[in-house]
Structure 1
């Protein structure tokens, strides 16, 4: 969408919100599977935000990372003041586009919900954007990276994400290949969905132009246990590098099957694989594998506010933060900051997020383009070392 069209709709949203009576949309009924930790006080005004993403299914680990980040943000917000109490309502999509519409009906029509942390994955986000736009329900995804999401409907105002898209990630991976694997050939494998295929295709287009020749490409079905055809094709290609676009469970199995077959090419994959489940499925053969992410992963070596978040998260959930946890924490806090400032209707909160300017988050400084994309484009790289993900470099350092 053009800047002028979205700006016009932003102005319309602001005017509409000012015309509405500033009344609470909150409800005392928290329903099931909801988090409202912290004492909001007896006279606190009550509102809700929603987590929309997987809690179960093949990619549940990534969803839980996001959910926990949002839960921690809500708990700390409620404990920090007594004027406003926020409930986080949770909707399990299993990360699937087919499951998303059924969950959509549950949160879209819940008037207490003013904004969404999510949806988590690109395919499910694409499936619900039209209805979210009709409802004027603002979303900030911490993980949906498909580059075409801002263009699903036109005009569009509700879409925002707290990390760079796959176009930026693909360019970043291609930059990494150019700098660290100059002139080396690459074979591409993807999972064929709205996340993995565009990411792999994007890397291939830029990397090939940058001087890393492509040795071919193929797709797999992540529901399969064995990827023999893809493994055999990659072995026959004799490339220096293999890139995989997809999610952690299949990425780990693919890495192991390539290693077991004797393929020695450097295995590189994207943010959907930055999860301990990748390490579990890949086994010892994952040593030296490289994973990219446009997210700023909170680790023991983090500093400042990100380090504080790491410690708080571990104390709350007895585990380290995962991929997208810090971005989800930031997304929830942006929504809650807007609500506390008096933006207590959907149009008002949408107008607040659209006019955010900059927000100093723990993951990064967040500022949105007119189409809802994040302005920052830094991509981070991690290497598997001694069975764990270790920071390697980022595109600002290349």
Structure 2
């Protein structure tokens, strides 16, 4: 009997101790919205991986805010790269009490979803590059990379000054991102003295571009700029090669700066392909190589385009919580507008509209299936 009483007493003490420990935890739900299915699923998974790595490292650090240990939980939803699905995901996060969302990946999803997040008091951090996302000036909407205006203009400047491109054909995939970056490229190209001989469009599900490419071949263009994603950019490069356009450059924005281009395009993707990506070269950042090593150890693959930015912003949000001494999204948002943070991919700090105050753009090509930097802007 005495032994039984001691056992029950010990169990009660352990239960009480565990309950006290749990009571000291503050659960912070981090949502990730991105395409986890479809042709851009590789990008959505990469973004999610960046956030997951940050969450795991933050939980190991056992940060305290308001006297409680923060416990970060990751909730990931597939928005399919579709605006309607993205709005549904936003509402689902709101219903689940999520106050911080990383994503969406696509500008066309981020624009309508941002309204839902704003109304729900949720802080949204997106890599959507359309300038329209931040034009609403929602206080808790942040773009964590350069905008189309910066990326498209940088690619155009490089094409004119370094490549000496005289004529270019422009194609976009009719998405908010594709149209936006193509508009910005065309505008800057004309300002730089490049002749835009035509503007064509396709869609983000297409795989046959022979008619458009043949028309541009007839106009003897020096380059083609494609506003769209790697799953279309890669077959476009293959078809350019098949049509004897090996000397015509294929230019694009950040979405072509992906290992998927080389993977899907094979030997048709090399130094003939050039893309502009927000941010400085990761390998040249002080903490960039260490991040790449940790990412590869965790996921057995190299990071794609935006995993570093998603990782950095998750870390920045945690630091802002500490500075505000609260997990309240509005208070954290105010800190993000006033603080700066040195991440693995660069320095983060936001203006009143939620755009980065300072950001670099790097122009890349492909060598041996790998990205190789050419210039920084």
Q: Note the 1:173-252 alignment, pairs <5 A.
A: 173-182=155-164, 184-252=166-234
Contact 2:32–2:75 (8 Å) recurs in 1:
yes
User: Unaligned regions of 5+ residues in structure 1, if any?
Assistant: 1-40
Once residues 70 and 350 of structure 2 are traced to their aligned partners in structure 1, the CA distance between those partners, rounded to angstroms, is 26
Q: Which residue of 2 aligns with 1:46?
A: 27
Residue 131 of structure 1: how far off its partner (Å): 1.4
Q: Which residue of 2 aligns with 1:144?
A: 128
Query: Quick one: which of 342, 345, 349 aligns to 1:363?
Result: 345
Once residues 387 and 307 of structure 1 are traced to their aligned partners in structure 2, the CA distance between those partners, rounded to angstroms, is 19
Contact 2:31–2:93 (8 Å) recurs in 1:
yes
Once residues 296 and 317 of structure 1 are traced to their aligned partners in structure 2, the CA distance between those partners, rounded to angstroms, is 23
Once residues 125 and 281 of structure 2 are traced to their aligned partners in structure 1, the CA distance between those partners, rounded to angstroms, is 18
Residue 343 of structure 1: how far off its partner (Å): 2.0
SS of structure 2 residue aligned to 1:293? strand
Q: Which residue of 2 aligns with 1:129?
A: 114
Does structure 1 residue 291 correspond to structure 2 residue 284? Answer: no
Residue 205 of structure 1: how far off its partner (Å): 1.1
Does structure 1 residue 393 correspond to structure 2 residue 342? Answer: no
Contact 1:84–1:340 (8 Å) recurs in 2:
no
The structure having more radius of gyration, on CA atoms, is 2
SS of structure 2 residue aligned to 1:304? coil
Residue 211 of structure 1: how far off its partner (Å): 1.1
Q: Note the 1:331-370 alignment, pairs <5 A.
A: 331-341=313-323, 342-355=325-338, 357-370=339-352
User: Unaligned regions of 5+ residues in structure 2, if any?
Assistant: 1-20, 64-68
SS of structure 2 residue aligned to 1:164? coil
Contact 2:175–2:204 (8 Å) recurs in 1:
no
Contact 2:146–2:359 (8 Å) recurs in 1:
yes
Once residues 285 and 198 of structure 2 are traced to their aligned partners in structure 1, the CA distance between those partners, rounded to angstroms, is 41
Q: Which residue of 2 aligns with 1:65?
A: 46
Contact 2:259–2:369 (8 Å) recurs in 1:
no
Once residues 305 and 279 of structure 2 are traced to their aligned partners in structure 1, the CA distance between those partners, rounded to angstroms, is 7
Once residues 240 and 100 of structure 2 are traced to their aligned partners in structure 1, the CA distance between those partners, rounded to angstroms, is 43
Q: Which residue of 1 aligns with 2:17?
A: none
Contact 2:285–2:346 (8 Å) recurs in 1:
no
TM-score by length of 2: 0.88
1:78-107 Cα shifts (integer Å, max 9, x gaps): 112262111111111012213112212210
TM-score by length of 1: 0.83
Once residues 307 and 123 of structure 2 are traced to their aligned partners in structure 1, the CA distance between those partners, rounded to angstroms, is 20
Number of aligned residue pairs: 348
The alignment yields a C-alpha RMSD, in angstroms, of 1.7
Once residues 295 and 171 of structure 1 are traced to their aligned partners in structure 2, the CA distance between those partners, rounded to angstroms, is 14
Greater fraction helix: 2
Once residues 251 and 131 of structure 1 are traced to their aligned partners in structure 2, the CA distance between those partners, rounded to angstroms, is 32
Q: Which residue of 1 aligns with 2:138?
A: 156
SS of structure 1 residue aligned to 2:142? coil
Once residues 257 and 296 of structure 1 are traced to their aligned partners in structure 2, the CA distance between those partners, rounded to angstroms, is 31
